[in-house]
Structure 1
Amino acid sequence: MGEQSPSQPSTQCQSHPQSPKPDTHNLIPPESTDECLDSAGVSGSIVSSTTIDARRITELGNVSSPPSKIPLRPRKIRKLTLDGDVSGEDYKAEDISSSQVNSPLATDGKSPGKGKLSHLRAITVPRIQARPLTCEGELETAIHYLRNADPLLAALIDVHPPPTFESFKTPFLALIRNILYQQLAMKAGNSIYTRFVSLCGGENLVVPETVLSLNPQQLRQIGVSGRKASYLHDLARKYQNGILSDSAILNMDEKSLFTMLTMVNGIGSWSVHMFMINSLHRPDVLPVNDLGVRKGVQLLYGLDDLPRPSQMEQHCAKWRPYRSVGSWYMWRLIEAKSTSTSAAVAAGVSLPPLEDIQQEHQQQQLMDPLNGVFSIG
C-alpha cells in the first residue's frame, strides 16, 4: 500500500517541506492537493524516500574515489599547541617549562611559527648564579675543595692566609676605579681616585650623570688623561642609555658580562676578569691573559714554557668551580718569589741575568690588581 511500480511515473506532490521525525506513528501528514495520494501513502513515501536517501549516502561514502593522475601532497595536520589553550592566562615559568617538554613542539622537533616562537621566547627561566665568595661559608668551602682537588695547590694554601676581596658600593663605581687605575702604580692610582671622588662630591655621587658633567679639562687637572676621560664618558653614556645597569651586571652570567663590558671603550678581557673576581667576587673566573697567573701555573706544575692562554683552561681544569681562588694563590706564589729575590739581593746572592729580572718585574706589574699595577685589558 502506498508503493509505486517502477514503470509508473512518480506522482508529484506539492507540500510544505517538513523533516521526518523518528516516531513515524506520530507523523502529521502534510497538506496535499487533489493530485496527491492519500495521507497514508504520502506518509509512507516520505519515510521510504528518506530511507533510500540515507542508504544512498552511506553507499556513496563507502565508494572509493577513482585514482587521480595528479600526485597528492600529504595534508598538513594542525596540532594543538599551548598558545590556543592558555592564551590570555598567566602561568608561572616553571609550569610553562614543564608543559613544553610534553607538548608537540618539544617532541616532534619542528620549529614553531613566528608568533609561537616569540611567545615561547618571552617565557624564560632565570639562570641561577653561583654564590659570591663573600657569602658566609663560601670561601671556606672553596679552600676545602681546592685542597682536596690539587695537592700541589694545597701546599700553597697551607703557607698563605685566606684570600681577601675588596668591596664597592656599586658596580659602576668599581668600573670607574678600574679605568682610573689602568697603567698606574697603586700609589698614583689611589691619589687620582681620591681626587676624582672629591671632584664628584663623594662616592655616593659617582653616578653616570655626574661623570658626564665633567669635561676633559676638569679631569685633566686631577691627572686623568684625555683617553681615560673618553673611557669614563663612554661607560657613563652606556649606563645612561640603559645598555648597562648595576642590576643587570649583578645578574649576568660570566659570558654575557664579558660580552657587554667589552663593548665599553677601554675595558678589555683582562679588566673584565679582574672586575668579576675583585668586585663581583665570582668564584669561577680564570684570567687566562694575566701574566702573573700564567707564570704561577708554570711554577706550580714545573712547566718548561709559559703556558699560552689557550692552554690555561686545561691546566686549571681541576680548580673548577673555584678557579678565582686558585688564581688568587697564583698571584701569592709570584709575590713570594719576588720577595725571596729581593731578600737574595740584600744577602749578596748571585742574581739572574738582567733580562730575566726585567721580565719578572713586568710580570709583577700585571700580576695582582690589588698589590701591583693596573693594566688595560
Structure 2
Amino acid sequence: MSGQAQSPAKPPPELSTSDASGTVSAVAGTLNGLPEDPQMTPLAPPRSTPPSKIPLRPRKIQKLSSDNLKPSMTNLSASAPKPPSSKKNRADARRSSSDALAVVIPRVAARSLSCEGEVETALRHLCAVDPLLVPLIEVHPPPNFDTFHSPFLALTKSILYQQLAYKAGTSIYSRFVALCGGEHGVVPEAVLSLNPQQLRQIGISGRKASYLHDLARKYQNGILSDSSIVNMDDKSLFTMLTMVNGIGSWSVHMFMIFSLHRPDVLPINDLGVRKGVQMLYGLEELPKPSQMDHLCEKWRPYRSVASWYLWRLSEAKGGPSGVASAMAATGVSVQHHQHQLQQPLPPPTEEQQQQLVDPINSILNLGYSEFHFSS
C-alpha cells in the first residue's frame, strides 16, 4: 500500500442548510453531555423577514418639565371671557353684579303693628321711600294699634255697623251685646240661638241677621275659626272672609288693619285713601282702584300705616271724615286728632257715607284678642 500512489484528498462535501442545522444541533447536544440523536429531524429554516429599518438619527426624547404641565395660555385666552376693556364695559359689569346682589337682598320683614317699636320702624321706612309723606308724618302723631278683641266679635261688629252712622251703630251694638250677655258672650252658638225676630226687636234688619247667622255657621262648621283667621296670610284671609255674606273687600281691609293690625294692607276701594293719593301726588283725577297698587307700591311693607296718614290728609282737606270719628271707638281721643285739622270738617256727602264715613269705620274699634291662638 505504501507503494501505491496516494490519490488526492477529496474536499469535504458541502453541507446544505438543513445538514448544517442538524450538525449544529448534534454539536450542541454533545456539548451539553447528551448523545447525538441520529433520528433528529433537522430544523426548518427560519422564515426570512425583511430587515427592520433603523433610523439614521434616533428621535430625541423630550422631557416634560413642570412648565409643560401648565395649561396653555393661548387656549385659556380663547375660552375665558375678556375683562372689560372700556369704562362702559366696566360699568355694565358692575351693574350686572349689583343686579345679581339685588335679587338676594330680602325685603323689609314687617311685624304686627301692635308689636313694640313697629310703628316707629314703619314711619322711618315711609319717610325714606317717599319724601312726600314726611310733612304728614311730622304734623300728625303716630297711630295706635293697641285695641284687642276676638276676630269673631270684631267681624260681628263690622256687620252691625254697616250703613249706619256711628251713633246709631253704637246703640244697636250695645243692645246686641246685652242680648248675648256681654262681649264675652258674643260667640257663634249664642248668635245662632237668636232668631231674626229677636234681632229685629233691637234694630237689626233681616238682611243683617242673615249675615250674622252665615258668619256664625261658618264658624260652627269649622270653615272659619279665630285661630285660622289670625294665622292666615293676607291673600288667603281675604278670600275666606269675602265668602261670608255681607262682608266685602272694604270690610276685610278694615278688619285686617284695625283688628289684626296687619302692616301691609291697602284699601284700594276706600274713598278717603284714594282721595289722599290724589292730593299727595297732585293727580288731576281720582285714581281708580286698579291704579292704587301701582301708585302705592313704594310704601310696602307698611301700606297700612301710609293709608292711615292718607285719611288724615283727606280729612284736613275736607274729605271723608269717618275715620276720625270712628277712632273714638278705639279708645283714642277724638280731640287728640281733631285739633290738628286745618279747617272744620264739613258734613259728609252721600257718596262718602256709602264708602267711608261713620258706618264701618267703627271697625277701628275692632281688635283681635291678646290671647295667642294656635292652629
Q: What is the TM-score when the length of structure 2 is the normalising length?
A: 0.59
SS at match of 2:250: helix
Shift in alpha-carbon separation, 1:223–1:157, aligned structure 2, 3 A: same
Residue identity in the other structure for 2:175: R
Shift in alpha-carbon separation, 1:324–1:161, aligned structure 2, 3 A: same
The counterpart of 1:132, out of the listed 108, 112, 116, is 112
Alignment of 1:103-118 (within 5 A): none
Shift in alpha-carbon separation, 1:159–1:286, aligned structure 2, 3 A: same
Query: Match of 1:82?
Result: none
Residue identity in the other structure for 1:201: G
**2:289 maps to 1:297:** no
Structure 1 gaps, min length 5: 1-128, 346-353
Determine if contact 2:159/2:212 at 8 Å carries over to the other structure.
yes
The counterpart of 2:130, out of the listed 150, 166, 170, is 150
The counterpart of 1:323, out of the listed 282, 292, 303, is 303
The counterpart of 1:369, out of the listed 340, 350, 361, is 361
After TM superposition, give the deviation of residue 161 of structure 1 in Å.
1.1
Query: Match of 2:328?
Result: none
SS at match of 1:369: helix
Deviations 1:172-213 (A, max 9, x none): 000000100101111111111111100000111110000000
**2:253 maps to 1:273:** yes
Shift in alpha-carbon separation, 1:367–1:274, aligned structure 2, 3 A: same
Shift in alpha-carbon separation, 1:363–1:304, aligned structure 2, 3 A: farther
Q: How many angstroms apart in 2 are the aligned matches of 1:273 and 1:363?
A: 13
Structure 2 gaps, min length 5: 1-108, 319-340, 367-375
Query: Match of 2:188?
Result: 208
**2:193 maps to 1:193:** no
Q: How many angstroms apart in 2 are the aligned matches of 1:361 and 1:234?
A: 25
The counterpart of 1:252, out of the listed 225, 232, 235, is 232
After TM superposition, give the deviation of residue 278 of structure 1 in Å.
0.6
Deviations 1:302-352 (A, max 9, x none): 000110111001110111000000001111111111265547x8xxxxxxx
Deviations 1:58-107 (A, max 9, x none): xxxxxxxxxxxxxxxxxxxxxxxxxxxxxxxxxxxxxxxxxxxxxxxxxx
SS at match of 1:233: helix
**2:170 maps to 1:170:** no
After TM superposition, give the deviation of residue 135 of structure 1 in Å.
0.6
SS at match of 1:139: helix
Shift in alpha-carbon separation, 1:363–1:216, aligned structure 2, 3 A: closer
Shift in alpha-carbon separation, 1:213–1:360, aligned structure 2, 3 A: closer
Shift in alpha-carbon separation, 1:341–1:262, aligned structure 2, 3 A: same
Shift in alpha-carbon separation, 1:367–1:300, aligned structure 2, 3 A: farther
Deviations 1:200-241 (A, max 9, x none): 001111100000000111111111100000000000000000
Aligned residues: 236
Q: How many angstroms apart in 2 are the aligned matches of 1:178 and 1:313?
A: 25
Determine if contact 1:284/1:323 at 8 Å carries over to the other structure.
yes
Deviations 1:34-76 (A, max 9, x none): xxxxxxxxxxxxxxxxxxxxxxxxxxxxxxxxxxxxxxxxxxx
Q: How many angstroms apart in 1 are the aligned matches of 2:195 and 2:294?
A: 46
The counterpart of 1:314, out of the listed 287, 294, 300, is 294
Larger radius of gyration: 2
Shift in alpha-carbon separation, 1:239–1:130, aligned structure 2, 3 A: farther
Shift in alpha-carbon separation, 1:296–1:367, aligned structure 2, 3 A: farther
Shift in alpha-carbon separation, 1:232–1:362, aligned structure 2, 3 A: closer
SS at match of 2:357: helix
**2:216 maps to 1:224:** no
Bigger relative contact order, structure 1 or 2, given CA contacts below 8 A and separation 6+?
2
Shift in alpha-carbon separation, 1:166–1:328, aligned structure 2, 3 A: same
SS at match of 1:223: coil
Q: How many angstroms apart in 2 are the aligned matches of 1:206 and 1:154?
A: 42
Alignment of 1:29-178 (within 5 A): 130-165=110-145, 167-178=147-158
SS at match of 1:184: coil
Shift in alpha-carbon separation, 1:368–1:216, aligned structure 2, 3 A: closer
SS at match of 1:187: helix
Q: How many angstroms apart in 2 are the aligned matches of 1:142 and 1:196?
A: 37
Shift in alpha-carbon separation, 1:252–1:205, aligned structure 2, 3 A: same
Q: How many angstroms apart in 1 are the aligned matches of 2:150 and 2:359?
A: 25
